[in-house]
Amino acid sequence: MPRDAWSLKSILPPRLLSLLRRLRELSRRLRRMHLHRPRARREAALQEVQALESRPTISLAMPTYKSDLRYLRKAIESVRRQHYPDWELCIVDDGSEQPELLAELRRQAKADPRVKFEATENRGISGATNAALAMCEGEFVGFLDHDDELTPDALLRVAQALVADPSLDAVYSDSDKLTLHGVRADPFLKPDWSPVYALGAMYIGHLLVVRRSVAEAAGGFDPAFDTIQDFEFFLRVSERTDRIHHIPQTLYHWRAIPGSIAAGTDQKSGVEELQARAVSEHLARRGVDAVAVPHPKIPHRAVLAPRNGSAPEAKISVVIAAGGGDGGLQRLLGSLFELTSYPDFETIVIGRGGAAPAGTPDRVSWLEDVPGPFRRGRANNLGAAAAAGEYLLFLGEDLEIVEADWIEKLLLHAQLPGVAAAGPLVSRPDGLVDQAGVAIGLRDPASPMLSGFPADGDGYYGALPCAREVSALSSEALLIGREHFEAEGGFNELYSREYEDFDLCQRLARRGLESVYAPRPRLVTHRTPAGRRAGTDIVDRALFVDCWYDELMAGDPYFNPGFAQQLADYVPAGWRERVYRATAPLGRR
């Protein structure tokens, strides 16, 4: 039998052989393209460097201690591969006393004059980072862990941001993780600077670059907060500047190795208490009458509580616009008066059709809405005009109160510096999220955030258990200071059934005032999806888009553009489409 009797040529038809040859040639071309792609990217990046009007030097501080040489070399090499050339790497070894490690660091410093190295006695990670910071000579300083990596364009993107806005004092980026096998995973797509969110979640992380004079004025790193030293350091930086810029690109790879928090939130003990202490001291320095306590169930999350246990005090006016629903008003009023522990509140209902229905509690002030079609914004404005409270608390009639201290919790968040309005977590009766704030500028002009998530879960990197800034809140549950409400002229009555609340939040933002989602309290809504669809008004939608077109086109600053824009559910862009293509029937692909 001939040697090639069982070769492909002998058993495959000619047309299939031709197809295989074409596929082989295509594979060769793709490999050649892949080989040339890094070179093309570098050439394009060098052109971007040359286009910069100025080139600030960026120093990187790196403490080392008994580092794994495999990962240390990768970390240093990721700096030396930077497209942006104006950097220096300042390495301080914290008393490792390992000859191989010290020899490697000396070799690296000798190979590139931009790499500096010193060895000191063991002082801990904060002490070593401060020593590295003292070596830095650049106008800006960044921080790199000894086993992490930068993307090749990381410092170029930072430099572009600094040159575009010379007033910036700090820049941070998105990040992801590297497994032990070097596989990228778990992207962390962050919001723009969110000081309230930063009180509950250690979200800034890396890559972080700070103006060196600001870092020095903040006092560097505090050894009392080792293990969360970078988080506590940035809290002090934020006390000195709000000129903080977010680059919505993944520029930093955090290596997930055993013992690192990147490998899991259970890798280091005592973090929660240190985190709460850092936030509490930060709030005290800012004169805020609140403290942080560890979340009772979710690691590495902090929640706010009154300082010294004393609840905030203010006269509250609860305003309920009753459009004549299916009896939900009586359920809301019953739960309101049976459960609410807050002592100083009044309740105003704007109803339809004359006197209050039978069974309405005597404590309710009943106002009749004006004749004509029901308009929620107009009804709420009528209630606000009759209210006497310092704060106005608007509620939808389909809600149910389920926590006694719900007003105290809302008021605590509404009284944070720079905050004008606060809204609670609203869940469904089945325990899933109905809304946790509202994002704007997605496929729809406004979308409820985290809808369908378990209400007692972490959401996305603490987006559920931590208070955070949002672009809009629903008047289904909205607490706002009277002075802010009146300064904006109340709700825009041109809207008929929806969007007037989102419009109000946008007007507040235009004056530099924030709307905040509060994870506690939780209220329950009995409004069904069918009821929501019935309340949709395309004219209101068009009016909102017309009024806020530029803001909608710019995108939501608190919802990363790297997420899919169909829903505010924190799904990375492309993931939903990939899953669909992988699972759809053949005829639908």
pLDDT digit of tens for each residue in the chain (589 aa)? Answer: 444 444 555 566 777 778 878 888 887 777 766 655 677 788 888 899 999 999 999 999 999 999 999 999 999 999 999 999 999 999 999 999 999 999 999 999 999 999 999 999 999 999 999 999 999 999 999 999 999 999 999 999 999 999 999 999 999 999 999 988 888 889 999 999 999 999 999 999 999 999 999 999 999 999 999 999 999 999 999 999 999 999 999 999 999 865 554 444 444 558 999 999 999 999 999 999 999 999 999 999 999 999 887 777 899 999 999 976 556 899 999 999 999 999 999 999 998 777 778 778 889 999 988 888 889 999 999 999 999 999 999 999 999 999 999 999 999 999 999 999 999 999 999 999 999 999 999 988 999 999 999 999 999 999 999 999 999 999 999 999 999 999 999 999 999 989 999 999 999 999 999 999 999 999 999 988 777 776 788 999 999 999 999 999 999 999 999 999 889 999 998 765 444 333 333 333 2
Tokens read off for 26: 């295509």
242 lies in the same domain as 329: no
Q: Is residue 207 part of a domain?
A: yes
- Rounded CA separation 176/172 (Å): 13
147 lies in the same domain as 255: yes
Report which of 90, 100, 238 is spatially closest to residue 170, judged by C-alpha positions. 238
What's the pTM value of the predicted model, to 2 decimals? 0.88
Q: Is residue 128 part of a domain?
A: yes
Domain end (from 271, 305, 338):
271
Domain end (from 237, 271, 305):
271
248 lies in the same domain as 335: no
CB 186 within 8 A of CB 263: no
CB 433 within 8 A of CB 455: yes
Q: Is residue 37 part of a domain?
A: no
Q: Is residue 293 part of a domain?
A: no
Q: Is residue 145 part of a domain?
A: yes
Q: Is residue 57 part of a domain?
A: yes
Q: Is residue 129 part of a domain?
A: yes
What per-residue confidence (pLDDT) applies to 296?
Answer: 94
What per-residue confidence (pLDDT) applies to 20?
Answer: 78
CB 298 within 8 A of CB 458: yes
Any residues with CB less than 8 A from the CB of 104 and at least 6 apart, and which? 69, 72, 73
Any residues with CB less than 8 A from the CB of 448 and at least 6 apart, and which? 434, 435, 436, 437, 438, 474, 568
400 lies in the same domain as 266: no
- Rounded CA separation 396/476 (Å): 4
Q: Is residue 158 part of a domain?
A: yes
Domains identified in the chain, total number = 2
468 lies in the same domain as 400: yes
214 lies in the same domain as 353: no
255 lies in the same domain as 342: no
267 lies in the same domain as 322: no
Tokens read off for 323: 């459009």
> At what angle are helices 124-135 and 229-238 packed, to 10 degrees?
50
254 lies in the same domain as 334: no
Any residues with CB less than 8 A from the CB of 324 and at least 6 apart, and which? 351, 352, 353, 374
384 lies in the same domain as 488: yes
Enclosing H/E stretch for 486: helix 482-487
Domain end (from 210, 245, 271):
271
The domain of 176 spans 52-271
414 lies in the same domain as 545: yes
262 lies in the same domain as 336: no
CATH number of the domain enclosing 359: 3.90.550.10
